[in-house]
Each structure stands twice: as C-alpha cells, then as structure tokens.
Amino acid sequence: MKNLLIIGGGTGSYTILKGLKAYSDRYKLTAIVSMMDSGGDTGKLRDEYGILPPGDVRRCLVALSEESDLIKKLFQYRFSSGSLKGKNFGNIFLTALSDITGSDEQAIKETGNILKIKGRVIPVTLDNVDLCAKLEDGSVIHGESNIDIPKHNPELRIKQVFLKPKAKANPDAVDAILNADAIIIGPGDLYTSIIPNFLVAGIPEAVCGCKAEKIYICNLMTKYGETHHLSASEHVKALKKFAKIKCLDNVIVNNGEPSHELLKEYAKEHSFPVSYDVKELYELGVKKVIEADIMNKQVLIRHNPERVAAEVVRIIGM
C-alpha cells in the first residue's frame, strides 16, 4: 500500500482528500495542514483558548470521514443566530477536546476516531505562529487573515513571506514526509494556504530530500491581492523562491473552460483563469506537465475531486 501525502490547507486540501478517499483501499492517506489561519471563528478560538487553529484540520477530518452524512454535516455546521452566530460546531468540538485531553494533537486524533477517518491529519507545526507578508512598497502585513482578505492595496505584489516567530516542524509531519511514496502540494491559496507549510523549518528540506514523487496541483483562478498577476509557471517560481521547493516532478494544470457567464462574475472580483505555458514549466525543471479538465463548472469554479484524484492515480499508479 503506497503512502500518499497531501500538503496544504483550506478548501483545497478538503477537495483533494474527498476525491482520493475513494482510493483509500489502495493508498494510505495523510494530510499535513497549515497552522497559520487567523481569521473568523478559527482565529477567535485560537486567540481566546491558545489552541492551534482548528478550521483547516476540521475540514480535512471531515473529508476523510467514513461517518454518516449527518455527522459530517454536523462538524461543518455554522450557527446562524443567537450568541453562537458565526461559530462552527466542529471548531468548538476540537477546542473542547483539546481542553479535555490537554493536547491539540490528541484532540485531533480522538476526533479522527470519532469521525472514523480513512487516513491521518497532522499539523505542520505545534508552535503558535503568525504569517507575515512584505509588500513591494515595503509595508508588512501581519496575520494570515489580513493577507487573505486584504485591507491594503491589493495591487501591491507580495515580495516576501515569513513566520513570526520562527516555527519548527512537527516531528510527525517530517516522519510522514520521509515515508511518503507521493506528495501532493495544493491546490489552495498560494501565499496563505500552501507556502506557509514550507516556511516551517525542516519541511522543505524533508520534501526535497525524500524519494517521493512530487505533484503540484495548480490553482484554477487567480486571487486578487495574492496571485492576480501570476501564471502557472509563476506559481511554480513562487514555490521555488518562497517555499524552497525546487523538486517538482509533475504539475497538473487545468485546460477546461468555464462558461462565459461564470467568468464575468469572477472578473468582478478581479479573478481570472490561471494561464499556463507548457514550455515555460519544463524550463523550470518540471519533469511532466499534465493538462486536464479538472474543474467543476456550476455556481463556483472549483476543482472536481474525482477528476483530480483520477489524474493523481494515473501519475503514481496503484
């Protein structure tokens, strides 16, 4: 049974895990999750209780869950009124278990048992750190949520990203990387979900030093304030520069086309399809570029879990 590792955060990891869970009889699935989320309900629980941010962990646990749809909906449930308005049940549950067990790690493991997950979910670090970004005008933005939803001029390019204070890798994360047969990076917000994992000391070294096949799943759309000016090759350049990942074997890019109506809606938010040039990607050292229609095209433009999983399986084999 091959060990398949996913590194990321946010809805990107949730989507990929959801698709790959169908192959859990062939692969051992492990998700390494960013611990820099500072926004919304997650950020408030982190500040008030001193816990690791639970939101991205919760999403990955639900994605891997074999429990009933009702239980999975419960862990994704967000209160819409009263004193709990905006609070997520799963986040509260993880916070309570952390208090009961005295350990964020143990809370994640116990929640995984309750949800009957097919795989493991591992925080990239156990340190309490914040993500910071230096912009081209020299200003520094503190906190993942302030980068993710910019209050500054979104036209300014990000020139540097770093953690404050510095963080060391969770030993379990390093061990999972070194024992992986294939590592999937992304999809997800480049500067706030993907790269933060590789700012943790020991993670990029482990990834590029291990024998695993490395696969990067490129985003479908640009994001205003982060990647509104980036092509697929520039995403890869950012991974090389900021994440120190210079060892990508495969890059999966989308060649499907959203409807004209959807594109018009996204354009209102300054979001556009990520363009790609196969030749440029090969010139960056990528060994294989996979062009495939990997998107859903309904109300939102999102990766299709089943299509992405199928492409990954074609790359790594059974």
Cα(169)–Cα(212) distance, rounded to whole angstroms? 19
The residue ranking higher by pLDDT, 49 or 199, is: 199
What pLDDT score was predicted for residue 271? 97
Mean pLDDT for all residues in the chain: 96
Nearest C-alpha neighbor of 183 from the set 205, 214, 160, 153: 214
Q: Which band of pLDDT confidence, cut at 50, 70 and 90, is reported for residue 121?
A: very high
Q: How far, in Å, CA of 94 to CA of 102, rounded?
A: 11
How far, in Å, CA of 72 to CA of 93, rounded? 13
- Of 218, 212, 203, give the one whose Cα is nearest residue 32: 203
Q: What is the pLDDT of residue 292?
A: 98
Place of tokens 């990891």: 13
CA distance 314 to 316: 6
Domain ranges of the chain: 2-35+124-316
Region of 40 (left: φ > 0; alpha: ψ -120 to 50; beta: rest) is left
Crossing angle of helices 10-20 and 55-64, rounded to 10°: 10
Cα(41)–Cα(86) distance, rounded to whole angstroms?
7
Question: Residues 126-135: what's their mean pLDDT?
Answer: 97
Higher-confidence residue of 219 and 47: namely 219
Kindly give, in sequence order, each residue whose CB lies less than 8 Å from that of residue 140, ignoring residues fewer than 6 positions away.
Answer: 132, 133, 134
The pLDDT value recorded for residue 41 is: 85
The answer on pLDDT for 297 being more than 80 is no
In angstroms, the CA 46 to CA 133 distance is 20
What pLDDT score was predicted for residue 97?
97
Mean predicted confidence (pLDDT) in 280-296: 97
Strands 295-297 and 301-303: antiparallel
CA dihedral (37, 39, 41, 47) in degrees, to 10, reads: 70
What is the assigned CATH class of domain 2-35+124-316? alpha beta
3-state secondary structure of 171: helix
163's tokens? 């953690």
pTM for this structure? 0.96
Nearest partner of 74 among 95, 88, 61, judged by Cα:
88
Helix (H) or strand (E) holding 141: strand 140-142
CA triple 244-305-7, angle to 5 deg: 25
Q: Are strands 250-254 and 288-292 parallel, antiparallel or unpaired?
A: parallel
| Residue 182 token pair | 């294939």
pLDDT of residue 10: 87
User: Count of alpha carbons within 13 Å of 167, Cβ hemisphere only?
Assistant: 27
pLDDT in tens, 52-61: 999 999 999 9
Take residue 172 and report the two structure tokens written for it.
Answer: 């379990």
Residue pair 289/281 in contact by the 8 Å Cβ criterion: yes
Interval 23-52 mean pLDDT: 92
User: How confident is the model at residue 318, as a pLDDT?
Assistant: 62
Structure tokens at 56: 């991205």
Segment 210-266, tens digit of pLDDT: 999 999 999 999 999 999 989 999 999 999 999 999 999 999 999 999 999 999 999
Q: For 83-110, what is each residue's pLDDT tens digit?
A: 999 999 999 999 999 999 999 999 999 9
Give the pLDDT confidence score for residue 44 in this predicted structure. 87
